């Protein structure tokens, strides 16, 4: 069993190192094939481990000591329990699909080999993150995915910076830096949380920490919970550290599918789920997490309503769904959050990959206003994206229905009617914007013809690679019961009260109603043809939403520019003119006094004799006084 | 051999003197060979070192001026061992990296002389011998900056010399006073550190002495506001000068804190955690901001050096083994990473004779190997886990968190601000389209540069993944130091703050 | 009667005359004269005190001083003549080559 753990964990690393050997060479197909194969091996190992955990129980291995100093002993240790097994399977499955897909998508890219190296390295980091049995191991994976996403978002680093009106993300390298720095801000919070844990509990191993949690002071637990959540906020792009997610769309689409739909951004949710013994003790913090998640859900959905960029719409929907996951976790329904995480991974990755197909067909065009009627040329992509959108909108019997509905049930169960209402509303918005995008891209009028595009479907093997995701997007929800039984061996079981059981059907109907309503509105507005309205597009609400509530510009004006200016002042005014000038000033004083004293050396004997005489007389006087004193 | 330390100190001296008769054609090979032998000797020292023992080993003792207790007294422990190894490694790497330099022979001889003094500082256990080597190290560096430096080299060299010299003089006064106190208590003169450790000084005396020594070390580290000599020194020094300056000479200051201030003045050290912490935090945040404002690539790295030294000082004053071990490890990691970064800046300077980032842009498309190595060192500098930079930074901050949580939070800003200026540097220089014609035909790293850089990359990754062989002995000595401080502390406050690890074995 | 005090006062007056001469005189030769006056003032003091205390060491010392003053003058005058030959003047204000 131990060897399965190592195989699952290290195969992607081996693939990454292999591809790195060709990093600076022109495209070699073998890199794409080998890395995809190794990912598949990892996936098989993960499934076998999942089997083992289902039938027998968790698996623990310890590779070696990493950091040993003082009383701190941190090993490279890995534990595959129920939660980890689920995460591993999801991650490796989606990663394998994305790797195969990328063979087609990145076919003509010069950095083909480099891409696969980075992609596999990313999967390795993510596996370290979910498989570690201690907080610092998690942090290794945490920072690792941060670096890999920096490399991948900024993959086309040769593109230059442009103004926000041309590209709201300015450039891939700019977006990459933004992602890395924003994550770092959150990482500081997480580090402080780790320090608090170590000095109060004495260990960073999950088992020991969670055993000690019930005996700790409540205030301390609140602080730790907040600090760890700040870390989660960065990775999962919760408000206010959310702007990097949309800008991360500058990376190649497979990157978006893997990192920003299925894996990296879910790391924050994973952390909260993993630390559930802690968060169960501090309901006020959990409730705040739920409220923030709910806010993010509707906040992101609102921005997706008016967006024209194909990938950004999907990015906002990811952000919104992350909000749902945090809402579930915050309400104590941890297994529901995990369930939605998995379901979302499948259909969101499918959506992104479908978007990639569209972009490929449309010479990387992203504006859905320039598309339309593509279902004729791209039947399968239309089918996939349609299925994924149905799942996303939470329509029965697709996967999203089971997960989202349970979250809404949980909100209702907790008597958090405010949360329920906002999430319910967001479900409607979600359905609306998802299908707005589908209709404007695949149905409605064929606007692409006037721009001279010649779209065509992608290669057959790419479509076959996407198939597993499509299947899962449909059937995954049907396994909700067995999923719940499995993960609640570790996670707290969340029981709905009797009251809710009666209400369940009403809730389901109400939710389906608004979801179908959203689709219907989108159909009416967009299915036939795109009607643009100057009045609406110039109106304030529209402009606020399409400019992301002007938050990126706000950040630039309040943080980036002042920091740059303060730094400039620190250098030119303070360091050069105050600190250094003081040093040079002291030197100057010494020099000037020397210069002054120099005047005594006239070279004139007569002057020297005068000085001698004066000195001698002074000494004599002093001697007389000294003698008189005695 | 028991005299390995003397061999390590004086072998480069012999080699330097012999080097005078070596011809200009073979001096490069000669220099590399000598430095390599020295490095292998230091590895031998590591190999022969007993890692379970936290005290001093390979002790050598020759009386010099016995009436005043000045002796040739050497020894290494886990703390100084690796700094010695790193010093020899960086000298070797520095000499390998030398390209087309005028008066190459003089430069190599000077570097070897510098190596003598560097090793002497870290292994001497007699205060006067320590001071001698400390001051002697200024002379070769003065010469390197002054003879091979840039336009304002004389100003930079003289500033460097006088500034550090002035601080050291104050430290000398402190040392003499300690010797005087020792003499009044024990009846004999002694400058041996081990004798001084046994001396229990009254608190009021400790406080004054702490600041006297602090001034000497603080200027060397360099700590705010005594740091302004460093940007000039780095800006004007040749590449190899910057490498050695950043990698080894700066560590003398922080090493001094661990070797002198902590064991001799434990109560004062605890009492002044707050002011020292505040200065360190200003160092970290302020110099990170100044680094961000720079237009010259080398100056960014110079200021980032100061910023990281701030974290090292925080770790030193953590009063627990985690922090102190972390700060020593960070000294090593900073030495290697900064050394590598300065070498990398030197690479592009050799080609374009400018260090202004506005002259670059898009270099990753033209010099991919260079971009990769620079990227790895960048990530090590910002403390990415699984690189050498993370272990030390994490332990230092974790250790300091115990004594001052809020200050640690502020100090932790180094991970954010470090990312800001380094990524900004990388983006300006490597990303984006190639805008400057002059950059289009640049050659990637050649064999000489790769030979100098690849070992450093290997160490960065190896010690990031498996720091134990190095961290182990450091930790043992750090634990011994902390338990020693705890015993020696007089005020109850100091005894409460100094945190002895539960896993401490029996100390010296 | 004429006592020790009178001699010491005489010596002091002579000495101050010498000092004034040293300070004010610009001509090197005059400087030598003033120095001689100072030396002789010291001699007077030595001789007077020696006689008062009936201790001959003072007068012996006075002889030493006379001898040394003579040799010093000899050398000094020799140098002075050379100086005059080279520069044509003995005015101190012209000799500022050691200005620092």
Task: Please name the helix (run of DSSP H) or strand (run of DSSP E) that holds residue B60, with its range, or none.
Answer: strand B57-65
Question: Nearest residue on chain A to B407, judged by CA atoms?
Answer: A192
pLDDT > 90? residue A165: no
CB contact under 8 A, A158 and B468: no
B502 in reach of chain A (CB within 8 A) = yes
Q: What is the pLDDT of residue B507?
A: 42
d(CA A259, CA A121): 12
Stronger pLDDT, A526 or A292, i.e. the higher one: A292
Residue A200 CB partners (closer than 8 Å, separation 6+): A216, A220, A224
Question: For residue B384, which residues of chain A lie inside 8 Å, CB to CB?
Answer: 143-144, 147
Q: Which pair of tokens denotes residue B274?
A: 């707050």
User: How does pLDDT run across A16-45, given as a tens digit for each residue?
Assistant: 999 988 888 888 888 889 999 999 999 999
Q: How far apart are CA C78 and CA B438, in angstroms?
A: 75
Q: Residue A69: which of B46, B331, B476 has the closest Cα?
A: B476
**Chain A: closest CA distance from residue B290 (Å):** 5
What per-residue confidence (pLDDT) applies to B421? Answer: 94
Task: Pull the structure tokens for residue B265.
Answer: 């003045």
Residue B355: DSSP 8-state:
-
First to last CA, chain A: 98
DSSP one-letter code for A160: P
Q: Residue B120: its pLDDT value, please? A: 94
For strands B57-65 and B70-76, give the pairing.
antiparallel
Cβ distance B468 to A65 less than 8 Å, yes or no, reads yes
pLDDT score of B486 more than 60: yes
Task: Say if A609 is an interface residue toward chain C (CB within 8 Å).
Answer: yes
Q: Is A598 in the C-facing interface, judged by CB distances under 8 Å?
A: yes
Q: What is the pLDDT of residue B505?
A: 54
Contacts of residue A621, Cβ cutoff 8 Å, sequence gap at least 6: none
**In this structure, are residues B374 and B430 in contact, taking their beta carbons and an 8 Å threshold?**
yes
Domain ranges of chain C: 4-89
**From the CB coordinates, do chains A and C have 3 or more pairs under 8 Å?**
yes
Q: How far apart are CA A48 and CA A28, in angstroms?
A: 31
Instruction: Find tokens 């510098």 and name the residue.
Output: B114
Here the tokens at position A625 are: 């006084």
Residue B87, pLDDT > 90, answer: yes
Contacts of A139 (CB under 8 A, 6+ apart): A187, A190, A191, A194, B385
Which pLDDT score is estimated for A123?
94
Domain C4-89, CATH: 1.10.287.3510
Query: How sure is the predictor about B302, in pLDDT bands with cuts at 50, 70 and 90?
Result: very high
Please give the helix or strand (H or E) that residue B76 lies within, else none.
strand B70-76
How close does chain B come to A563, measured CA to CA in Å?
Answer: 8
Mean pLDDT within A322-336: 91
* Cβ–Cβ contact B325 with A under 8 A: yes
Average pLDDT rounded to a whole number, residues B27-53 = 92
- C-alpha–C-alpha distance, residues A382 and B461, integer Å: 46
User: Nearest 5°: CA angle at B317, between B315 and B321?
Assistant: 65
Work out how many CB contacts closer than 8 A connect A with C.
32
Query: Residue B506 has what pLDDT?
Result: 47
Query: Shortest Cα distance from A178 to chain B (angstroms)?
Result: 9
Q: Is the peptide bond before B225 cis (omega within 30 degrees of 0)?
A: yes
- Confidence band, pLDDT 50/70/90 cuts, at residue B508: very low
Whether the CB of C16 is below 8 Å from some CB of chain A: the reply is no
Q: Does C75 touch chain A (CB under 8 A)?
A: no
For the ranges A162-171, A229-238, A590-599, the lowest mean pLDDT is seen at A162-171
Flag if A70 and B399 touch (Cβ within 8 Å): yes
- Look at residues B466, B281, B290, B301 and name the one whose alpha carbon lies nearest to residue B381: B301
CA separation for the pair A105, C69 (Å, rounded): 109
Kindly list the partner chains of chain A, i.e. chains with 3 or more CB atom pairs below 8 Å. Answer: B, C
| Residue A218: burial class (beta carbons within 10 Å; 0-12, 13-18, 19+) | exposed
Intra-chain end-to-end CA distance of chain B, in Å: 22
Q: What is the mean pLDDT of residues B242-252?
A: 94
For A438-503, the DSSP string reads HHHHHSS--GGGGGT-------HHHHHHHHHHHHHHHHGGGGHHHHHHHHTTTSPP-PPPHHHHHH
Determine, for residues C99 and A602 on separate chains, whether the beta-carbon distance falls below 8 Å: yes
Rounded (10°) angle between helices A379-393 and A460-475? 20
Cα–Cα distance, B448 to B29 (Å, whole number): 12
State percent of chain B over pLDDT 70. Answer: 99
**CA dihedral (B343, B345, B350, B353) positive or negative:** negative
Which stretches does DSSP call E strand in A305-374? none
| Residue whose C-alpha is closest to residue A410's, from A421, A420, A400, A398 | A420
pLDDT, tens digit (0-9, with 9 covering 90-100), for A344-361: 999 899 999 999 988 888
Average confidence (pLDDT) over A409-431 = 87
Q: How confident is the model at residue A400 (pLDDT cuts 50, 70, 90)?
A: confident
- How far apart are alpha carbons A11 and C52 in whole angstroms? 114
Contact call for C23 and A603, based on CB within 8 A: no
CB-based contact A70 B430, cutoff 8 Å: no
Provide DSSP, B427-474. HHHHSS----GGGTT-----HHHHHHHHHHHHHHHHHHH--HHHHHHH
Is there a contact between B452 and B474 (Cβ–Cβ < 8 Å)? no
- pLDDT tens across C33-73, in order? 999 999 999 999 999 999 999 999 999 999 999 999 999 99
pLDDT average, residue stretch A229-239:
90
* Contacts with B159 from chain A: Cβ below 8 Å: 583, 587
Share the mean pLDDT of chain B: 91
Q: Give the side-chain half-sphere CA count within 13 A for B459.
A: 21
CA of C99: which chain A residue's CA is closest? A603
How large is the average pLDDT for residues A52-81? 89
Q: Do C and B touch, counting CB pairs below 8 Å (3 needed)?
A: no
- Contact residues, chain B, for A177 at CB < 8 Å: 423-424, 427
Residues of A in contact with C91 (CB under 8 A): none
Which neighbouring-strand residues pair with B296? B356
A601 CB within 8 Å of a chain C CB = yes
Using a CB-CB cut-off of 8 Å, the residues of chain C touching A606 are 23, 25-26, 92-93
Nearest CA in chain C to A609: C23
Average pLDDT for residues B446-458, to the nearest whole number?
92
Q: Name residue B124's beta-bridge partners.
A: B74
Residue B200 is predicted with a pLDDT of 87
The answer to which of A484-498, A538-552, B99-113, B214-228 has the lowest mean pLDDT is A484-498
Helix (H, G, I), strand (E, B) or coil at A528: coil
Say whether B364 and A157 touch across the interface (CB within 8 A): yes
| pLDDT reading at B452 higher than 60 | yes
Main-chain dihedrals φ then ψ at residue A380, nearest 5 degrees: -70, -40
d(C-alpha B271, C-alpha B122), whole Å = 27
For residue A500, name the pLDDT band (cuts at 50, 70, 90). Answer: low
Question: Which residue, A195, A182, A134, is CA-closest to B411?
Answer: A195
Q: Does A604 touch chain C (CB under 8 A)?
A: yes
ipTM value, please give it.
Answer: 0.91
Cα dihedral sign for A47, A103, A130, A348? negative
| Helix/strand/coil for A67 | strand
B466 to chain A: nearest residue by CA? A66
Average pLDDT for A432-440:
89
C69 Cβ contact list (under 8 Å, min separation 6): C36, C39, C40
Left (φ > 0), alpha (ψ -120 to 50) or beta: where does B386 sit? Answer: left
User: Rounded to the nearest 10 degrees, how much is the dihedral formed by the CA atoms of B444, B348, B387, B260?
Assistant: 150
Query: For chain B, what is the radius of gyration of the CA atoms?
Result: 22
Distances (CA, A) of A407 to A304, A320, A476, B399, C47: 21, 13, 16, 41, 122
CA–CA dist C96, A299 (Å, integer): 88
Mean pLDDT of chain A: 88
Position of tokens 């003549």?
Answer: C81
* Backbone region of residue A603 per phi and psi (left: phi > 0; alpha: psi in -120 to 50; beta: other values): left
Output the pLDDT for position B504: 67
Residue (of A76, A16, A61, A79) closest to A42 by Cα position: A16
């Amino acid at each position: 069993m131990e060897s399965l753990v190592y195989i699952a964990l290290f195969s992607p690393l081996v693939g990454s190192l292999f591809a790195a050997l060709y990093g600076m060479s022109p495209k070699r197909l073998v890199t794409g094939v080998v890395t995809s194969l190794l990912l598949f091996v990892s996936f098989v190992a993960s499934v076998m481990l999942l089997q083992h955990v289902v039938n027998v129980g968790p698996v623990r291995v310890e590779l070696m000591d990493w950091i040993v100093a003082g009383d701190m002993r941190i090993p490279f240790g890995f534990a595959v329990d129920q939660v980890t097994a689920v995460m591993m399977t999801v991650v490796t499955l989606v990663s394998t699909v994305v790797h195969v897909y990328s063979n087609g998508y990145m076919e003509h890219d010069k950095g083909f080999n480099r891409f696969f190296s980075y992609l596999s390295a990313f999967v390795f980091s993510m596996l370290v993150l979910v498989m570690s049995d201690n907080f610092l191991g998690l942090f290794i994976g945490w920072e690792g995915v941060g670096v890999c996403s920096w490399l991948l978002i900024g993959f086309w680093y040769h593109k230059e910076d442009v103004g926000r009106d041309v590209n709201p993300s300015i450039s891939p390298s700019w977006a990459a830096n933004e992602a890395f720095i924003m994550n770092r801000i959150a990482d500081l919070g997480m580090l402080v949380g780790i320090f608090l844990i170590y000095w109060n509990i004495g260990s960073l191993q999950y088992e020991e920490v969670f055993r000690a949690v019930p005996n700790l002071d409540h205030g301390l637990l609140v602080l730790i919970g907040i600090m760890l959540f700040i870390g989660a906020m960065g990775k999962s792009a919760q408000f206010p550290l959310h702007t990097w997610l949309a800008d991360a769309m500058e990376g190649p689409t497979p990157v978006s599918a893997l990192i920003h739909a299925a894996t990296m951004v879910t790391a924050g949710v994973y952390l909260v789920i993993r630390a559930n013994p802690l968060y169960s003790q501090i309901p006020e913090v959990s409730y705040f997490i739920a409220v923030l998640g709910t806010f993010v859900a509707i906040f992101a959905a609102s921005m997706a309503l008016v967006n024209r960029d194909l990938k950004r719409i999907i990015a906002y929907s990811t952000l919104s769904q992350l909000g749902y996951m945090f809402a579930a976790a915050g309400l104590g329904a941890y297994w529901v959050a995990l369930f939605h995480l998995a379901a979302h991974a499948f259909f969101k990755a499918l959506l992104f990959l479908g978007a990639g197909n569209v972009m490929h067909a449309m010479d990387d065009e992203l504006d859905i206003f320039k598309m339309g009627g593509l279902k004729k040329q791209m039947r399968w992509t239309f089918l996939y994206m349609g299925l994924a959108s149905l799942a996303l909108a939470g329509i029965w019997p697709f996967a999203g229905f089971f997960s989202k509905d349970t979250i809404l049930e949980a909100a209702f169960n907790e008597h958090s009617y405010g949360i329920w209402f906002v999430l319910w509303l967001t479900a409607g918005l979600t359905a609306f914007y998802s299908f707005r995008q589908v209709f404007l891209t695949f149905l409605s009028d064929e606007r692409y013809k006037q721009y001279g595009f010649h779209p065509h479907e992608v290669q057959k093997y790419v479509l076959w690679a996407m198939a597993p995701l499509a299947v899962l997007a449909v059937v995954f929800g049907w396994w909700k019961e067995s999923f719940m039984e499995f993960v609640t061996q570790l996670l707290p079981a969340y029981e709905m009260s009797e009251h809710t059981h009666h209400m369940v059907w009403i809730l389901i109907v109400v939710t389906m109603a608004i979801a179908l309503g959203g689709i219907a509105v989108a159909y009416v507005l967009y299915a036939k043809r795109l009607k643009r309205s100057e009045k609406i597009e110039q109106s304030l609400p529209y402009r606020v939403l399409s400019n992301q509530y002007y938050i990126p510009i706000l950040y630039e004006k309040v943080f980036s520019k002042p920091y740059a200016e303060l730094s400039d002042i620190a250098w030119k005014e303070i360091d050069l003119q105050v600190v250094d000038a003081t040093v040079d000033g002291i030197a100057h004083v010494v020099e000037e006094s020397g210069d002054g004293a120099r005047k005594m050396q006239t070279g004139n004997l007569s002057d020297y004799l005068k000085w001698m005489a004066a000195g001698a007389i002074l000494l004599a006087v002093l001697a007389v006084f000294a003698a008189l004193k005695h | 051999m028991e005299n390995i330390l003397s061999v390590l100190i004086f072998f480069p001296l012999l080699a330097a003197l012999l080097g005078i008769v070596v011809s200009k054609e073979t001096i490069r090979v000669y220099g590399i060979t000598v430095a390599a032998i020295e490095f292998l000797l230091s590895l031998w020292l590591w190999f022969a070192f007993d890692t379970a023992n936290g005290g001093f080993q390979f002790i050598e003792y020759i009386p010099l001026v016995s009436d005043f207790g000045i002796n040739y007294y050497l020894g290494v422990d886990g703390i100084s061992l690796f700094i010695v190894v790193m010093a020899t490694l960086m000298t070797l790497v520095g000499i390998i990296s030398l390209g087309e330099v005028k008066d190459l022979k003089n430069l190599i001889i000077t570097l070897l002389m510098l190596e003598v003094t560097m090793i002497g500082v870290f292994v001497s256990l007699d205060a006067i011998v320590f001071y001698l080597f400390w001051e002697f190290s200024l002379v070769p560096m003065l010469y390197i900056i002054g003879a091979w430096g840039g336009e304002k080299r004389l100003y930079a060299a003289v500033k460097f010399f006088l500034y550090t010299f002035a601080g050291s003089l104050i430290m000398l006064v402190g040392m003499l006073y300690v010797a005087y106190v020792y003499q009044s208590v024990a009846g004999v003169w002694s400058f041996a550190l081990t004798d001084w450790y046994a001396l229990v000084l009254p608190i009021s005396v400790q406080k004054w002495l702490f600041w006297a020594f602090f001034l000497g070390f603080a200027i060397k580290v360099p700590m705010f506001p005594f740091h302004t000599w460093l940007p000039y020194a780095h800006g004007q020094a040749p590449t190899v000068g910057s490498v050695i300056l950043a990698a080894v000479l700066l560590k003398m200051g922080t090493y001094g804190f661990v070797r002198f201030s902590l064991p001799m003045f434990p109560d004062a050290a605890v009492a002044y955690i707050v002011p020292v912490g505040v200065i360190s935090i200003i160092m970290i945040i302020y110099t990170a901001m100044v680094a961000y404002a720079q237009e010259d690539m080398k100056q960014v790295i110079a200021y980032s050096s100061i910023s990281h030294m701030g974290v090292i000082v925080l770790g030193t004053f953590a009063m627990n083994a985690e922090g102190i071990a972390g700060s020593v490890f960070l000294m090593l990691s900073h030495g290697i990473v900064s050394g590598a970064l300065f070498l990398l800046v030197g690479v592009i300077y050799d080609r374009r004779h400018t260090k202004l980032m506005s002259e670059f842009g898009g270099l990753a498309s033209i010099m991919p190997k260079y971009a990769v190595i620079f990227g790895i060192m960048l990530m090590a500098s910002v403390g990415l886990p699984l690189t050498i930079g993370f272990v030390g930074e994490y332990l230092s901050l974790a250790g300091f968190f115990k004594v001052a949580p809020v200050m640690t939070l502020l100090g932790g800003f180094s991970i954010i601000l470090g990312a800001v200026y380094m990524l900004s540097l990388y983006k300006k220089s490597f990303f984006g389209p190639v805008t400057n014609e002059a950059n289009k035909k640049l050659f990637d790293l050649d064999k000489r540069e790769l030979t100098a850089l690849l070992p450093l990359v290997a160490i960065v990754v190896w010690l990031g993944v498996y720091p134990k062989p190095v961290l182990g002995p450091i930790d043992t000595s750090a634990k011994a130091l902390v338990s020693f401080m705890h015993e020696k502390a007089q005020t109850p406050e100091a005894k409460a703050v100094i945190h002895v690890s539960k896993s401490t074995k029996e100390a010296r | 009667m004429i006592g020790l005090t009178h001699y010491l006062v005489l010596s002091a007056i002579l000495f101050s005359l010498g000092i004034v001469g040293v300070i004010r005189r610009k001509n090197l030769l005059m400087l030598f004269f003033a120095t001689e006056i100072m030396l002789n003032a010291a001699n007077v003091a030595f001789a007077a005190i020696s006689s008062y205390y009936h201790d001959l060491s003072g007068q012996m010392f006075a002889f030493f001083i006379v001898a040394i003053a003579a040799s010093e003058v000899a050398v000094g005058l020799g140098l002075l003549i050379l100086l005059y030959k080279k520069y044509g003047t003995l005015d101190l204000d012209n000799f500022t080559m050691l200005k620092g």
